[in-house]
Amino acid sequence: MRLSVAIVGSGPSGFYAAESLLSAFPDCEIDILERLPTPFGLVRFGVAPDHQSVKRVTEGYEKTVSSGRVHYYGNVEVGRDVTMAELRDCYDAVVLAVGAPRDRPIGIPGEDKRGILGSAAFVGWYNGHPDFANLHPNIDVERAIVVGNGNVALDIARILVLSPNELAATDIAEEAADAITRSKLREVIVLGRRGAAQARFTNPELRAFARLDRGTPCVEGDSLSEHALEGLSEKPRRQAERNLETLRSFAELKEKTATRRITFQFFARPLEVLGGESVTGLRVAQTRLEGSRVVETGAQEDLSCGLIIKAIGYRSPRIPGIPFDAARGRLRNRDGRIAPGLYAVGWAKRGPSGVIGTNKADGKALAEQLRDDMKTQGKPGRKALEARLTARQVRWVTYRDWRLIDEAEIAAGQGDHPRRKFVSVADMLALLDRAQENTT
């Protein structure tokens, strides 16, 4: 009997799962379901638009889906077009690769004011995610604060200060590029509640700030001494040493002519968002470390700003009938197993951690688990899925359809733009309708 597997989600974790399963089960049948017409998830909508080399990872995903044993079903939402129970009835195994697309709240007063956004929403907006096409954030402010000390926080701060020439070489959404170019923004503060040595951003991301056309990085306060490294184990210490060296080097850039400034402010914990209906500032408490604990010193500071972006982590979506680990923001599972025949991979399994390649290990672990677990197989799989979708008149998007969308986006790119993304599902489907009409 042929093993049939449905993978819900078409980001890196979903494709790496498919790749491992193809290797482990030579005659398996794999179907990838994605609620949007477009595949690649985090690579398309999470990777910064000026990191085009990172996006080439999709070339490997192309090989996986071109194997002939993997089918893509875009524009199919589990819960809307087919239920989880139906999927489990149709397939021997269902794999949830839904990522962690929800923002974690800070949990401070004023978090609901206009002008404070989560990084998932903001990054989705400038990356052309259809869910956030109507976000229209006001970035025409003099100062913005990015709360967080990870790579996402650095991505956001960097994108906000890019010059028109730098933006021209990206696939950023057109509205976002126009807004960044027109903005009167003068300063972006990157705020961390711990010190520079405890920051989670990587050194290549940090070094990029020294090469910006119109942004000058600097460090607020004294947090770069050698004492900052005390208590760190070997691997974190090496990363921290590189980061501290880079942050110190920013002092040499003070004479650089630039219209926008990126200020790294450490040891500051957000306390309250200030303002009426809209953000006018952020009150922060100065902090220090006691061992590994962050404690407040008693001193506070009010930072004026017109925009706050939270980049403090993500959460997986809750799925009806699937146990959820609220503390960790992920699907409740035991090393990827949720229930018989039901599995999780990627951020849905581990929580939001690691880089794109980290998901490869989850795919290999999944293949081993299915070898152990699949004592019986032979559910109808793809045939049963298509019968349900057809009966409900669901318009699913094939991988061939996606290639038409892809070609149209690339053709619409101007100058150095690698592509101009569709930001509306309706526009994508309209393109496919026109293509179908032209072939009949």
Q: Which domains does the chain have, with CATH numbers?
A: 4-101+315-397 (3.40.50.720), 105-312 (3.50.50.60)
**Averaged pLDDT for residues 83-93:** 97
Query: 3-state secondary structure string, 52-86?
Result: CCHHHHHHHHHHHHCCCCEEEEECCCECCCECHHH
**Percent of the chain whose predicted confidence (pLDDT) is above 70:** 97
Is the model more confident about 439 or about 154? 154
Q: What is the pTM of this model?
A: 0.94
Q: Is 125 marked as binding a ligand?
A: no
Q: Dig out the tokens for 432 from the structure.
A: 């496919």
Q: Is 205 marked as binding a ligand?
A: yes
Q: Is 34 marked as binding a ligand?
A: yes
Q: Is 152 marked as binding a ligand?
A: yes
Residue with tokens 């949830």: 96
3-class state of residue 411 by DSSP:
helix
**Averaged pLDDT for residues 343-361:** 93
Q: Is 151 marked as binding a ligand?
A: yes
**Percent of the chain whose predicted confidence (pLDDT) is above 90:** 84
Q: Is 78 marked as binding a ligand?
A: yes
Q: Is 354 marked as binding a ligand?
A: yes
What is the rounded distance in angstroms from the CA atom of residue 345 to the CA atom of residue 205? 26
3-class state of residue 321 by DSSP:
coil
Q: Which of 159, 265, 254, 160 is nearest to 216 (CA)?
A: 254
Q: Is 191 marked as binding a ligand?
A: no
Q: Using alpha carbons, list the distances in angstroms from residue 366 to 9, 101, 362.
A: 15, 22, 6
pLDDT tens profile 244-286: 999 999 877 755 556 899 999 999 999 999 999 999 999 999 9
Cross-strand bridge partners of residue 285: 269, 300
Q: Is 174 marked as binding a ligand?
A: no
- Could you list the beta-strand ranges (E) of 102-171: 102-103, 116-118, 143-147
Q: Dig out the tokens for 127 from the structure.
A: 């990356």
Q: Which of 390, 410, 414 is nearest to 402 (CA)?
A: 410
Residue 292 has pLDDT above 70, yes or no: yes
Residue 365 has pLDDT above 90, yes or no: yes
Q: Is 356 marked as binding a ligand?
A: yes
